Amino acid sequence: MKKALLLLVALSFTLFSLSANGGKETKEEKKAAPAAPKLIAAMATDVGGLGDGSFNDGSYAGLTKAQADGICEARVVESKQMTDYIPNLTGLAEDGADIVFAVGFLMADAIIEAAQNNPETKYAGIDIWVDPATAPTNVLGISFNEHEAGYLAGIVAGYMTKEYAGKSDRLNDDNVIGVVLGMDIPPCERYEVGFQAGAQSVNPDVKVLQAVAGDFADQAKGKELTLAMINEGADIVFQVAGLTGMGVIAAAQEEGTLAIGVDVDQYAAAPEAVLTSAMKGITEAAYQTIQSVADGSFKGATNVSLGIKENAVGIAPYHNFDSVIPQEVKDAVNKAVADIQSGKITVPASRAEL
């Protein structure tokens, strides 16, 4: 009986760790072997894990791209819960990583602690702001101007929901749009605020509904919130909610309304229902950071903030909706890009600034 229990425990943990670390890594290592890279770049995902089609995948793509270019060897561990952050970030350094990426705002405290314990290893936090005054010199904070990407998506949504409601049978005349957040944290808030500002810049009367699911992995909640918004007349709902957002897309697909994806181009999830996606260039940011470590220009205890100026955020191609979205809307988006680049428009980044 005891043996059977032990066997069960062993089996479950083996499978668990196998699935958490395995799969991809082994495949990538095989590919990387002949190149014999000197640098080891590693990342710890947030609890959403790889396959979120969002910031974890985006960061990992940066690492594998650098690996493919022979700059580094890529490694990844996935965090199952928040208590995994520090062990993961520390463990990667102890296993010889030169640069460790912590992916996600929620790891802000963990990365500082891990960096203090491993001063020889460089750390970069994606979606994390570090305090330059107190942060150890081996930590870099990388954040994005999500509000600028949200602003562009807001322009599209603001125009389409009112001026061009007749262009698609997925739109109505109610002049209501919505945004579903996973959690009420700064990167999500920036998307939301930018979206609202963008929509109102072209459609001052538009009503923007907002709700927080409280979870990044609960599809049912995302769907129910979206259904409630659709009942209130919303025809375009912007998801800023990771896997919870798959429920937003599912609701749009079923109810014949539209969704806007987040972080990466989510068109493939539901080609008929995803209008566009607000994107941030996490892949590029991770890649450039690895390059900076490789050529020795990495600078810690500081923050970089990447926006439209750096070509790091934007919106995805319109795909199926390319013929539906009128040229006027596309021009407005392009003009906003130019205006933000030239500094003519400053997009609010928090609810307080809105």
Partner 1 sequence: MEFVIELLSATMRLATPIALAAMGAAVCERSGIVNIAMEGLMLIGAFFAAAVALATGSPWLGLLGGVIFGGLFSLLHAWSTVTLHINHTVSGAIINILAAGLTRFFMVEFYGHPGSSDMVQKTLGDLNCAVPLLSKIPLLGPVLFDQSPTVYFMYFFVLFTSFLLNRTKLGLHIRAAGEHPMALETLGISVKKIRYIGVLYSGLLCGFAGSFLAIEYGRFFTEGMTGGRGFIALAANVSGGWTAVGSFVAAIFFGFIDALQLKLQVMGIFKIPPEFFHMLPYAATVIAVAGLVRRSRPPADSGNDFSIEKEM
Chain residues in the site for partner 1 (CB under 8 A): 1, 4-5, 8-9, 11-13, 15-20, 22-24, 48-53, 57, 78, 80, 178, 184, 209-212, 214-215, 217-221, 223-225, 227-229, 231-232, 243, 246-247, 249-250, 253-254, 269-270
CA–CA separation, 263 and 294 (whole Å):
27
Tokens coding 280: 């941030």
CA–CA separation, 145 and 40 (whole Å):
28
For residue 207, give the amino acid letter.
K
Residue whose CB is less far from partner 1, 215 or 265:
215
Torsion, Cα 78 81 85 86, to 10 degrees, reads -130
Residue whose CB is less far from partner 1, 172 or 305:
172
CA–CA separation, 275 and 296 (whole Å):
41
Look at the alpha carbons of 64, 70, 71, 77 in this order and tell me if their dihedral is positive or negative.
positive
C-beta of 79: minimal distance to partner 1 in Å? 12
CA–CA separation, 280 and 127 (whole Å):
11
**Spatial CA neighbour of 300 closest among 119, 145, 65, 64:** 119
C-beta of 21: minimal distance to partner 1 in Å? 11
C-beta of 108: minimal distance to partner 1 in Å? 18
C-beta of 180: minimal distance to partner 1 in Å? 9
- Residue given tokens 């319109």 in the structure block: 318
Residue whose CB is less far from partner 1, 60 or 101:
60
C-beta of 320: minimal distance to partner 1 in Å? 15
Residue whose CB is less far from partner 1, 20 or 332:
20
Residue whose CB is less far from partner 1, 9 or 68:
9
